[in-house]
Chains A and B, each alone.
Chain A
Amino acid sequence: MSVASSLLRSSSVVGALLGSALLPEPALANGFFAGVQGTRAAGRAGAFVAKADDLSAAHINPAGLSRQRGTRIFVSNRFAYSDERYKRAATLDWSDLNNQSPAYVEFAEVSNARPWQLLDPMLGVSTDFGLKNWTFALSAHAPAGNARQEFPIDGGQRYMLVSRDVQILYYNLSAAWQHEDVFGVGATFQWVDVPKLAFELVIDGNTLPRQVSPVSSALDMRAQIEGADHVNFSAVVGAWWRPFCWLEFAASSQILPVHIDTQSTISVEPVFDTVTDPIVLTRGVEGEANDVTMQMTLPVSARVAARYIGHRADGSEAFDVELNLGWEAWSMVDSFVMNGNGLVGKLGGQQIDVGLIELEKNWKDSFSVRLGSDIAVVPERLTLRLGAFYESAVVDPAYAFVDFFAGHQYGGSLGASVFMGDFELSLAYAYMRQAELHVRESESAVHQQVPGSQCVAPYTDPDNCDAHYLGRPAAVANAGRYRAQYHAASLSLGYQF
């Protein structure tokens, strides 16, 4: 059995354990991610890079594993409710004239019809194998977030997104080493499995010149893209340093980006039953085909931390306060690209090039501040924790999109751990809110996808481009108001041999 097939097999087992059918999307915070995976980390609003004292250290700061002695088993799950809403800005529909004036069209607010994320697990085991300075861990987790979105097919968002289902699993193999209680380093090798990456949006199948339909087109097509990419790799490295018993510094970094490149299929169906002919997808001499690729990137990141530790007289930790500063390189995400490599849809006698659908993102790096604390209220029995955070926006308002609400985010959290012999039961609740994002039509840069449009860059040819949209490839699709708030509860159980 090859190494690869072994990995695949083991991944299937772990995936089954995790319930891969319900796994969420990607685990930093902003961008694709919403919240923090790991109950202790969640209770501290993610300020956990230095503390890093449970198995979530594997993906937050693997160096923290070095202080987890013995053998430990850890199981947790995160329950989340994502309240994501979008209200498209009123627009002028120049395809609907009355006395030469366009219709003023307002849109109802839409919200994600699948806000509940009931399975968002992490499990694993760590052991020092009796070694004094080493700890090893094997874990798997689905990064915190909202895997699924579903919006109405006739909603104002439909030219951006109708539904999304992104499932990502991280399988982590970690090793950590420490020098006494002063210094530690660690690394996690990650196998990133994307069992499902599905997007659905409405594209305008119009091929006629000078026709823009900002509200609804008779040739609206429902484009569904679904695929998987099982083999990707990444790595996390980290370190901690405790120069004084009361002060600790730490740093960690996701050092390898994940370039997801799914082998996918696409289907295109008319939205309205006025189009009765089937749409046949073909490519060159191959004839009928529907295979496409879909590319996304999960970025690198880095965090630094400082932790103050208060001690009791017996030397045990009474409380701590940790400050994390984070950077996430979301600027690596320029766009989501679906490439059909010349795929053409044929509808009746009309030919629609569906070869390239590019959802522009142009995200920018984000910076975060996280503050968290543990308080051992009853030593070795009960610990309470709390935290708060702020993270800068990933998305420029011009590129705001409903698939990932990525504006300025802030939130707070509470948590507790109860220790019963060798068992630990932890709970956490986190609330996160996105600052409302407002995008005017004039500033927006996301447009309807009209793959068969004859209006090409620089979009100023009056023979092919609608006079009211000169300079734009099509009508604006993302103007409006974006609101999001998230509630998440985590529950974990740990056992130490």
Chain B
Amino acid sequence: MAAAALATGACELGTKGLLPEAPTVTLSPHVSTVATVTWSTEDPTTGYIEYGLDPDNLDQRTPMSTSAATEHDQLLLGLAASTTYHYRVISVDADNGEDTVAGETESFETGFLPVGLPPITTTVPPGAGGHDAYTIVPVISDQASLLILDAQGQIVWYHAVDNLLDTYRGRLSVDGQSILYNAGSVSGDPAENSEMVRVGLDGTVLQRMPVPLLAHDFVEHPDGTIGAMAVEYRMVGDRNVRGDKIVEVDANGVVTPVFSTWNCYDPNVDIGSDQEHGWTFANALDFDPVENVYYLGMRNFSSIAKIDRVTGQCIWTLGLTSSDFQFADNAPPFKHQHQFEIRGNELMVFDNEGAFGRNSRVTKYSLDFAQMVVNHEWSYMSDPSVYTFVLGEPTTLQNGDIFVNWSAAGRMERINAEQQMQWRVEIPAGQIFGFNTVVDSLYPSPSAAR
């Protein structure tokens, strides 16, 4: 470390006690692309790590630690497999927050990806802007796994679902310390042993929260409470009818129902399609913390419901079944939709089967709440067009671009405001992308999921 001291002028400036000593890198035994850097300092310091592929341009940073310490450790996230990275520790005097020194630049190599993860093909058309965010997305195949892809489409984090279940959604927890995912089954009968799983960023399974009959989607509230969809069977006459509910799971794993489709709809009156696969067949969930309402997508109703989180009452329903809205003449209704996005009076829907032929699309609507009319804004189909028989999700990015997940088609792409493709990743046929969560950073930050 003497050389580092000379290099940074720490000895001259009297900041030698801030110098990071003995930095060591350890790869996670669970995720070969996650590294932990440990170091020590003579004086209490805070600090962070600069890292990157070019030793002369360490363009990534970990968040600065907030508590003073002399023994330090930080995770490096967002690393590609089998790649040499360079890093150095930036140490900051905890007493004044001003004096700072840098350690020497060191290097390490990440490990291999495990066998079984899908090969991912990334395409950025000439002149296109590419992508600039991470995508947390399950891949459903013989072995379901949860992946995080970087902006280049490289796998930078992975987790195998280990109980023979599938997973449909992964989210970075609101505190930024873990990944949450649902492990369940929606193909055929829902699983009694389904669960919400919390995994540390180093891949360690931290918590399993059993929630029987989990369906496709869940959200996490700002206080950490999980709101999840689950199947709710009830007997109607002699029929065992498959409805849906929303349950909330607290930090201790206690499950509390907050809504049931049975409260708003009557299977004898509100009849959608594909009843052989279930009645309401809820398949997508969103939450608006401002209004404290859930939005629930129901595939077999081809409808979306707005639900009061406190009372569990349906505020309105929009779609082909039990709708409080009318589609304008030029507004094509969506059918068997999956994920959607509601922002103010704008609704964007992944419309699996509303288009002619075996084509799926994303459709943007504007909602006239006064007249309860749905107006059409635009629709988008991928090029070449694909049919997504299950899942699918549109996401508006911060700059206005749209991220479209054509799940069952094994494709995700980013398009700009002119609907020009900027970036695309694909996996081989037979493998399906689950719902996606797009984040700017894998570290805790104000910009969480979007």
Contacts and interface: CB of A to CB of B under 8 A. Distances in A.
Contacts of A442: 93, 95-96, 98-99
A438 interface: yes
A104 B102 contact: yes
Interface in A411-445: 436, 438-442
B443 A104 contact: no
Nearest to A102: B64
Given A101-B48, A104-B90, A481-B13, A440 B99 contact: yes
B15 A98 contact: no
A150 B148 CA distance: 52
Nearest to B47: A101
Interface stretch (B55-63, B246-254, B271-279, B315-323): B55-63
A426 to B, nearest CB: 40
Given A92-B92, A106-B102, A440-B15, A101 B9 contact: no
Interface in B103-157: none
Given A98-B61, A101-B61, A104-B90, A92 B100 contact: yes
Nearest to A442: B96
A93 B101 CA distance: 13
A481 B15 CA distance: 13
A213 to B, nearest CB: 16
Interface size bucket, B side? 20 to 34
Residue of A91, A101, A439, A468 with highest tally of chain B CB at under 10 A: A101
B52 to A, nearest CB: 10
Q: How large is the interface on A (under 10, 10 to 19, 20 to 34, 35 or more residues)?
A: 20 to 34
B101 A99 contact: no
Given A90-B8, A101-B62, A476 B98 contact: yes
A438 B13 CA distance: 5
Interface centre among A92, A479, A480 (most CB of B within 10 A): A92
B173 interface: no
B204 interface: no
Contacts of B444: 100
Nearest to B8: A90
Contacts of B63: 99-101
Contacts, number: 72
A436 B14 CA distance: 13
A442 B95 CA distance: 9
Nearest to B91: A104
A441 B48 contact: no
Interface in B1-22: 8-9, 12-15
Contacts of A90: 8-9, 100-102
**Candidate in B8, B15, B99, B445 with the most chain A CB atoms within 10 angstroms:** B99
Contacts of A99: 48, 60-63, 441, 443, 445
Contacts of B100: 90-92, 104, 441
Contacts of B64: 100-102
B12 A100 contact: no
B34 to A, nearest CB: 15
Contacts of B445: 99-100
Contacts of A173: none
B12 A481 contact: yes
Contacts of A101: 48, 61-64, 90
Contacts of B101: 90
A87 interface: yes
A479 B100 CA distance: 11
B12 A438 contact: yes
A89 B13 contact: yes
B97 interface: yes
A85 B146 CA distance: 55
A80 B362 CA distance: 76
A87 B99 contact: no
B50 interface: yes
A95 B431 CA distance: 43
A135 B62 CA distance: 76
A87 B61 contact: no
A336 to B, nearest CB: 25
A102 B50 CA distance: 10
A87 B441 CA distance: 34
Q: Which of B13, B97, B441 has the most CB of A within 10 A?
A: B13
B295 to A, nearest CB: 30
Contacts of B12: 436, 438, 481
A104 B49 CA distance: 10
B148 to A, nearest CB: 15
Interface in A75-110: 87, 89-92, 98-104, 106
Interface string B151-175: 0000000000000000000000000
B441 A441 contact: no
Interface string B373-415: 0000000000000000000000000000000000000000000
B73 to A, nearest CB: 16
A104 B50 contact: yes
A98 B102 contact: no
A468 B92 CA distance: 13
B96 A98 contact: no
A87 B444 CA distance: 35
Nearest to A92: B100
A476 B444 CA distance: 29
B51 to A, nearest CB: 10
A440 B13 CA distance: 6
A480 B12 CA distance: 9
A333 B217 CA distance: 71
Contacts of B60: 98-99
Given A90-B102, A440-B99, 5 more contacts: A90-B100, A438-B14, A440-B13, A480-B9, A481-B13
9 contacts: A90-B101, A92-B90, A92-B100, A99-B63, A100-B63, A101-B64, A106-B102, A442-B98, A481-B13
Interface of B: 8-9, 12-15, 48, 50, 59-64, 90, 92-93, 95-102, 441, 443-446
Give the 7 A-B CB pairs with smallest separation, nearest first. Answer: A442-B96, A101-B61, A441-B98, A98-B61, A101-B48, A442-B98, A104-B90
